[in-house]
Each structure stands twice: as C-alpha cells, then as structure tokens.
Amino acid sequence: MAANAVVSVKHLNKVYQSRDRRVEAIGDLTFDVDPGDFTCIVGPSGAGKTTLLKCLAGLLAPTSGAILVNGHAVAGPPAEMAVVFQEYGRSLFPWKTVRENIELPLREKKIAKAERTRLVEWQLSGGMQQRVAIARAVAYQPKVMVLDEPFAAVDAQTRADLEDLMLRLWTELDLTVIFVTHDIDEAVYLGQRVLVLSSSPTRILDDVFIDIPGTRSQAATRIEPGFAELRTRIYRGIQEAKSAARAASEPIKS
C-alpha cells in the first residue's frame, strides 16, 4: 500500500517555537493516500488541520518526520500538487482577468491556453471566485489536489453545488484529493475515507472508510442509514477529542 501511495506522511511532528513559547501543533501523524483516493480530513477547530495542509503543500517545514509526494520527500511546494485555499478572495490575483488567473501557472508550466473570459476576478461572487480557483488548480493538471476548507465561506446552496462539482471533477479527471474540512457531513458526503484528527498536538483518532456505494447525490445520499451512522461515529470521535483536550488543559486539583 505504501509502495504506490501518492502522498505518504510518516511520523509528522510540528512544533511552533518562539522565544518564550513552544506549541506542539501536530503530535505524530502517519497515513498514506493512494492514487485516486478522495480523502477528507476532519477535526475540531485548532486541530492543526491548516498546519498539516501547509506541511503537505511544502509551505511549512515539519519539525520531524517526513512527507513523501510521489515518492519524493517534500522540501518545497511539489510541482505535482495544486492547492485551493479557503480565502478565495485572497488567492486569486485581483489585477488579472479570470482567464489570466487560470493561465498564469500554465504559462509557467508551458501548457496550452485555456478558455477565454473577460470577467475580472473581483467582480465575481464568492462561489464563482472559488470555482476559478478550482479551475486554476485543475488546469494545472496536478497529481494531488489539496483543498483547505474551500467552501467554509460560501452560502449553503453554493456549497452543495461546489461539493458536487468536486465529486464530478474527481470522478472524471482521476484526481487524488485531500480535502480538509471542519464539516463532518461534508467529509462523509465527499470522501471515500475520512481521517479524524484529535486536538493539538494532533494525532489520528479514527480512519473511517466511507462505504456508501454508487453515485452520491445531495438529496439521496444524506438520508441513507449508512450516512447517518458514519457521521455519528465521526461526531462522537470529535466530541471525545474535545472533552479530552478540555480535561488536559484544566488545572489538576488535589
């Protein structure tokens, strides 16, 4: 399994060290993502999800442990990876048209031209901006697509549309997706597999295989008994993580 994993995380540990403070964000994480997987990562807020993602994307160096993408250790952002950030408004270049935003990484990579549109980035709604960011990521033809809470800031209807867009892209384009979210329903709906993280210092609490067969749809999938069961299991896991974290942070009385 590890032999052909696209992304392989081995004993990842990340400590933020400043002059007088030491915060262990990620304790010890080990997991593999196989080619073509749709893996969702959920965890309570402050679980170091963003830290994990930045380490995966080569934007932050781990304190110890290793991350392999396509068998190579990550030292900087790997060329075969695209990332979609939560802050769509700040991840597109406002001085460029939609077309130029999508084309820029392709020009760097020397790939053929994309469809032209004259709309300018900041004139679009949030949902449309995130679509452009996803389009840019897809057009880049990455092996791995990493998304950091991409739909956290859009309205519910748009969110459902974007989730289905992600599923369609994943099936049609044979992508490997790592999707970070704080929304358990979203994780179960989208993923084939959900990794549940503990509070910081982060460990993996649960590795859930989502065995909901067939094509997923917003109306039908969410009312299946399997769906409810899985979301309950993950929900409980996260609640336990939260109370454990609270207990740990409380002063010990004797």
Site for another protein, rule CB under 8 A:
54, 57-59, 76-77, 79, 81-83, 85, 87, 90-96, 104-105, 107-109, 120, 122-123, 136, 140
Q: Which of 96, 242 has the CB closer to another protein?
A: 96
**Are 29 and 204 within 8 A, CB to CB?**
yes
Enter the tokens of residue 158: 């748009």
Q: CB of 183: closest distance to another protein in angstroms?
A: 21
Other beta carbons within 10 Å of 29: 25
Residue 251 φ then ψ, to 5°? -70, 145
Q: CB of 59: closest distance to another protein in angstroms?
A: 5
Residue 234 φ then ψ, to 5°? -70, -40
Q: Which of 83, 196 has the CB closer to another protein?
A: 83
Grouping H, G, I as helix, E, B as strand and the rest as coil, residue 74 is coil
Q: CB of 238: closest distance to another protein in angstroms?
A: 27
Q: Which of 43, 58 has the CB closer to another protein?
A: 58
Q: Is the dihedral of CA 91, 171, 176, 139 positive or negative?
A: negative
DSSP 104-146: HHHHHHT---------BGGGS-HHHHHHHHHHHHHHT--SEEE
Q: Which one, of 26, 141, 161, 136, lies nearest residue 85 by Cα?
A: 136
Q: Is the dihedral of CA 217, 218, 221, 227 positive or negative?
A: positive
Q: CB of 162: closest distance to another protein in angstroms?
A: 19
Enter the tokens of residue 186: 């979203």
Q: Which one, of 210, 184, 215, 185, lies nearest residue 197 by Cα?
A: 184
Q: CB of 96: closest distance to another protein in angstroms?
A: 8
Tell me the sheet residues that pair with 148. 180
Q: CB of 240: closest distance to another protein in angstroms?
A: 33
Residue 105 φ then ψ, to 5°? -65, -30
Enter the tokens of residue 135: 């389009």
Q: Which of 36, 94 has the CB closer to another protein?
A: 94
Q: Which of 52, 82 has the CB closer to another protein?
A: 82
Q: Which of 126, 201 has the CB closer to another protein?
A: 126
Q: Which of 24, 87 has the CB closer to another protein?
A: 87
Q: CB of 29: closest distance to another protein in angstroms?
A: 21
